[in-house]
């Protein structure tokens, strides 16, 4: 059970290379993957070397399963990878261009650069509809304020990442566009009803699901008119009844946002967060910054299973989803070669596309499929 459970974790790393303690923890606990931040990223060669060393750990894992290697690359201000990677504009600019062909090319080009260094999971695209103009947390990270407009481009973005063999992760379900508070710092509260969500922000998620989105990230937001007890990440109502139930019928994987954000940690213990996140219906738990958190969570979850508070069958179902996703995307992924990196990163076609989106002057050949 501990080995199955480890596959449901994606964790952060401390530096630009794998530490001996990190290797030991990943192997001992059969951890499913890692997420990279600026503290882990330097040159393209260093990133490729780090990703290679991460994947080499699979030889020591029980199923020899490849690891998720994820990053936040949305474009604009959420842009972890610096030059020579192409510097992409914010999704707001892409929304203004309003060409699904351009949106597809945007994510396909970005995904190709990620894949060249060994990154196989992007925590993008943002599917939030910006319904509150005062929302600076999302702001220009959104494609726009019309849910149908966001939906149209969300589908194209998902397909572009998939074409590049990078797993896209739509976020932040059921929509972060109507809030003002930053969930990194506090728990946002949204007074929308389910009917309002269905007629607005959920439209983009529905369209992305039809485009074969395999992974969706939850929002640390409380909707008291829908679930007066739990924020979305910890809510069975949102994840089992609405997301997987008759409202949306989603059958693929669900990942939490970082479980150490103050939106949750200021209100619940680490142990309760971990157990409740799985009870609510998440498949993967994300821990980005505190290296002690995954170990605490693992122990708490195993104790909850032993005590009958958490179903081992649910863990097995999530584990099976993880293995299917890895087999689909990572099982036959081509091995990245250092010699290909310089050819792909900052490719003239990518730079031309980025500049065209930034200026809004997109020629007809870029708008064509």
Catalytic residue numbers?
Answer: 184, 257
Gap between the Cα atoms of 182 and 166, Å rounded: 28
Q: Hey, what are 16's tokens?
A: 């630009």
Q: Alpha-carbon Rg of the chain, whole angstroms?
A: 20
Q: Which of 59, 42, 10, 87 is nearest to 277 (CA)?
A: 10
DSSP state of 138: T
Using CB atoms within 10 Å of the CB of residue 343, give its burial: 0 to 12 exposed, 13 to 18 middle, 19+ buried: exposed
Gap between the Cα atoms of 336 and 93, Å rounded: 31
Gap between the Cα atoms of 313 and 317, Å rounded: 6
Instruction: Confirm if 146 and 191 have CB atoms less than 8 A apart.
Output: no
SS3 content of the chain, % helix, strand, coil (to 5): 45, 10, 40
């Amino acid at each position: 059970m501990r080995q199955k459970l480890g596959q449901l974790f994606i964790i952060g790393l401390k530096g630009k290379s794998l530490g001996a303690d990190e290797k030991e923890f990943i192997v001992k606990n059969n951890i499913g993957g890692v997420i990279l931040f600026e503290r882990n990223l330097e040159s393209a060669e260093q990133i490729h070397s780090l990703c290679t060393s991460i994947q080499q750990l699979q030889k020591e894992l029980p199923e020899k399963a490849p690891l998720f290697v994820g990053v936040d690359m949305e474009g604009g201000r959420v842009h972890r990878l610096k030059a020579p990677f192409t510097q992409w504009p914010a999704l707001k600019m892409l929304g203004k261009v309003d060409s699904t062909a351009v949106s597809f090319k945007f994510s396909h080009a970005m995904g190709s650069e990620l894949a060249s260094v060994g990154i196989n999971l992007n925590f993008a695209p943002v599917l939030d509809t910006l319904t509150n103009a005062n929302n600076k947390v999302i702001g220009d990270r959104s494609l726009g304020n019309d849910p149908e407009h966001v939906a149209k481009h969300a589908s194209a973005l998902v397909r572009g990442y998939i074409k590049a063999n990078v797993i896209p992760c739509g976020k932040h379900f059921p929509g972060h566009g109507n809030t003002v508070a930053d969930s990194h710092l506090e728990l946002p509260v949204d007074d929308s009803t389910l009917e309002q969500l269905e007629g607005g922000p959920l439209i983009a998620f529905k369209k992305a699901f039809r485009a074969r989105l395999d992974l969706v990230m939850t929002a640390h937001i409380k909707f008291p008119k829908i679930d007066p007890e739990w924020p979305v990440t910890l809510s069975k109502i949102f994840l089992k009844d609405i997301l997987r139930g008759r409202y949306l019928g989603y059958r693929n994987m669900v990942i939490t946002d970082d479980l150490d954000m103050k939106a949750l940690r200021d209100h619940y213990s680490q142990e309760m967060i971990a157990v409740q996140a799985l009870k609510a219906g998440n498949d993967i738990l994300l821990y980005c910054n505190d290296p002690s958190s995954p170990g605490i969570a693992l122990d708490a979850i195993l104790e909850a299973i032993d005590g009958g508070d958490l179903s081992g069958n649910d863990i097995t179902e999530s584990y099976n989803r993880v293995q299917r996703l890895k087999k689909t995307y990572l099982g036959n992924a081509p091995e990245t070669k250092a010699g290909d990196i310089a050819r792909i990163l900052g490719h003239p076609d990518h730079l031309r596309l980025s500049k065209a989106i930034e200026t809004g002057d997109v020629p007809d050949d870029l708008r064509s499929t």
